[in-house]
Amino acid sequence: MVRVIVFFFGFGGSLAMARAPLRLGEVHVWEMQEITLESAQSYANPYADVVCWIELEGPGFARHVHGFWDGGRTFKVHFVATAPGEWRWRSGSNQPGDVRLNRGRGQIHAVAWSEKEKAENANRRGFVSATPNGHALQYADGTPFFLLGDTWLAASTWRLPWRGIRAASGYEPGPGISFEEAVAYRKRQGFNSISFIAAFPN
């Protein structure tokens, strides 16, 4: 993920965390990018009072992408580049007097994943959607997608605690299993999705 910090009239540096070495300003397609906007003033109820967005343009793409409040004066926008090439954005909001929310600008250059990298992580092929006939699923590049899932209704509770660890390569489930270890085990078995209730049991 690339974190982009936006200042008044400006665009901060970025760091791409990916396997392939990238030049400054480059990102991979289908990898989430994050833009951070800092408002010029505090708002009584920023969640309700402020609507912010970016106008995003790239190859075959021009859309309005909404952001969200992230505490204090911080607002963020998440997006992905859906095709290789040059991408540009400019920020805006429903608060025309707040120059820090409305005058952000930036650009990135998106590059494709290699076939080897896509073999390591099929999600690098793009979003999953219905096939043209509506009978199956496929990635954005047309590669078939077969949904193989498991259900962990209470995954977000003490039953599978998040420990911030990396599961051992040959981990086998046992007492005290963490969320990360459970995901790693199912991934090794070939599962590609998990369904759970985010706010269980409330």
Once rounded to an integer, what is the mean pLDDT over residues 161-167?
Answer: 93
Domain with CATH 2.60.40.10 in the chain: 2-111
**More confident of the two residues 1 and 101:** 101
pLDDT tens for each residue of 140-153: 999 999 999 999 98
pLDDT at res. 9 = 29
Please provide the average confidence, as pLDDT, over all residues in the chain. 88
- Which residues have C-beta within 8 Å of that of residue 48, sequence separation ≥ 6? none
Identify the CATH homologous superfamily for domain 2-111. Answer: Immunoglobulins (2.60.40.10)
pLDDT band at 182 (very low <50, low <70, confident <90, very high): very high
Q: Read off the pLDDT of residues 1-31 as tens digits, 9 standing for 90 and up.
A: 444 433 332 333 333 334 557 777 899 999 9
User: What's the predicted TM-score (pTM) here?
Assistant: 0.73
